Structure 1
């Protein structure tokens, strides 16, 4: 898998996350670059969802 494929996959995932949780901003989603735990924490704070629910949604 090359860098372009990885970025394309991330863009698809970001779109799905924004569809599910519209309150998320682009700034929130940029935390994934090396900071997955911080991203999940931000998502929990903004959405009130559990970590498990967020992790499940990001794998769909």
Structure 2
């Protein structure tokens, strides 16, 4: 799935995000609004990942949808 599709279907995909990254709250995901860079930043913040690692993790998740 590409990021335009993810952004467009964000409300439906938030549950899948919480399955993958369970420490994220609904409010945090509402603020992300399906934006890749914001999700990458949240993964960095919540899980202490380096930017490159968080980008890879988010991209892998998106491709798996």
TM tier, smaller: 0.5 to 0.7
Quick one: structure 1 residues 53 and 11, their matched pair in 2 at CA, closer, same or farther if it must change by over 3 Å? Answer: same
Q: CA offset at residue 11 of structure 1?
A: 2.6
Structure 1 moving runs of 4+ over 4 Å: none
Q: Is the 8 A contact 1:31 1:39 kept in 2?
A: no
- Bigger Rg, structure 1 or 2: 1
Give the root-mean-square deviation of aligned CA atoms.
2.2
Classify 1:11/1:34 alpha carbon distance in 2 versus 1 (closer, same or farther; 3 Å): closer
TM-score by length of 2: 0.58
Deviation of the 1:35 alpha carbon: 4.7
Structure 2: gaps spanning 5 or more residues? 1-7
Greater RCO, 1 or 2 (C-alpha within 8 Å, sep 6+) = 2
Give the TM-score, by structure 1 length.
Answer: 0.61
